[in-house]
Amino acid sequence: MRGNIESSLPPNPWSAPRRPAAPTPVVYDGSRGRLFGLALGRMALTILTLGIGRFWMTTRLRRHYWASIRIDGSPLEYTGRAMEKLIGFLVAVVILAVYISLANLALTFAGLAWLEGSVVGLQLPLLALAPALFWAQYRARRYILARTRWRGVRFGLAPGAWGYAWRAMVWWGLTLLTLGLLYPLTQHRLARYTTARSYFGDLRFTQEGGAGPLMRSWLWVWLPAAGLAAAAAGFAALGKEPGPEAALAPLLLLFVALGFVRHQVFSFRHLNSLKTLAGKTRFSVSLGFWRVVGIYVSGALAIGLGVAATAAVSSLAAAALIGDPSALFAALAEGRAPDVTGLLALALLAAAYLPAVAVWSALGHAFLTHPLLKAACAGLLIHDLEAAERARQRAHDEQAEAGGFADALGADMGGAF
């Protein structure tokens, strides 16, 4: 009773103002060794099942990543199931086959049959897939958010896949027409559309800020790249051989590549630092550019060495089983079909590189995804988390196709993560 009376009294004007709570860090406590073993085993099963096991691999890896991310001591939870992804993929393959057939018929009846066999004619069906690709990307994000929970409360993404698709077509079209100049504006507009439809429980996210900082960052990439392309086009038009200044081209290309990575890191920081939840919960991101570069360089070295060593060991083992392959290579060089023994030897040589594929996938998770995710979480702080804890449960989103179209089109939100 006393607490209720005190809470109803007006605040004391002489008391010290209430200090805001300290920001909440996001912790990633995943194990590189465990992740490597998990990814290696799941990729081996995927190879043995001719690709069918990849849905179980993706689901298991997502559960591992999600459970390794802790906010205020509570981990994220991924509730997606592999079987629903497999069924969604099979349904998507059938629908896409019908869609591509109808698109080809529509192009023919539109009077474009005269382009048949030309380069442009061959690219038109791919252009017809572009809206479906953007639509599938949005649906895949919606599925992932619908299967993600924190402290039992679901995330979600409101319907709007076709709205995202036509906006992506317009903005990417403008980006291509301006030779990439409007890429930052495309990033900002699509992020704003997606964020405005994202929810945690019944609380909505918003994307604040403009595209000006992104544009200024991008000019450090676009201007050198445009200058290099203009110089190359000028030399080609004049029919002249490049002079000593051509020695600067590799350095300029390296500058452009590093500038692109820097822009991607900056856009990640800028866009996520300006996201809010219910207008109260905010985020601050401090991921460093050179740390990302270091992760990519060390990861590329680890993956290259690991894959090369695995391929060498597998090849030596296959060669020991085959024996002298000179007869097989002689038959292939002469255009003759090898005998049964030769075909088995050829199949064994091809299969010898499958362990390298499994190691490549596992090392990618262990030396790229793992450290990148750890660095991103280490630089992420959440301000006023208490406001987010007031979220009420969101209705379950079935998402029957379970990201199957993104799987079929190769646009499944970066694979496992």
In this predicted structure, the answer to whether residue 2 has a pLDDT above a threshold of 50 is: no
Share of the chain above pLDDT 90, in %: 57
What pLDDT shows up at residue 117? Answer: 52
In this predicted structure, the answer to whether residue 399 has a pLDDT above a threshold of 80 is: no
DSSP secondary structure letter of residue 412: S
Contact 182, 175 (CB under 8 A): yes
Residue with tokens 């856009």: 267
Distance between CA atoms of 396 and 202, rounded to whole angstroms?
A: 12
Distance between CA atoms of 221 and 256, rounded to whole angstroms?
A: 5
CA angle, corner 146, sides to 145 and 151, nearest 5? Answer: 85
- Residue-wise pLDDT for 249-297, tens only, equals 788 889 999 999 999 999 999 999 999 999 999 999 999 999 999 999 9
Reduced to 3 states (helix: H, G, I; strand: E, B; else coil), residue 411 is coil
What pLDDT shows up at residue 394? Answer: 87
Residue 246: Cβ within 10 Å count: 12
Contact 287, 264 (CB under 8 A): no
Distance between CA atoms of 168 and 188, rounded to whole angstroms?
A: 11
- Residue-wise pLDDT for 8-46, tens only, equals 555 555 555 555 678 999 999 999 999 999 999 999 999
Label residue 7 by pLDDT band (50, 70, 90).
very low
In this predicted structure, the answer to whether residue 173 has a pLDDT above a threshold of 80 is: yes
Task: Report pTM.
Answer: 0.85
Provide CB contacts within 8 A for 5, sequence distance 6+. none
Label residue 154 by pLDDT band (50, 70, 90).
very high
Share of the chain above pLDDT 70, in %: 78
What pLDDT shows up at residue 232? Answer: 76
**Beta-bridge partners for 153:** 150
- Residue-wise pLDDT for 300-320, tens only, equals 999 999 999 998 888 787 777
Mean pLDDT of all residues in 208-215: 94
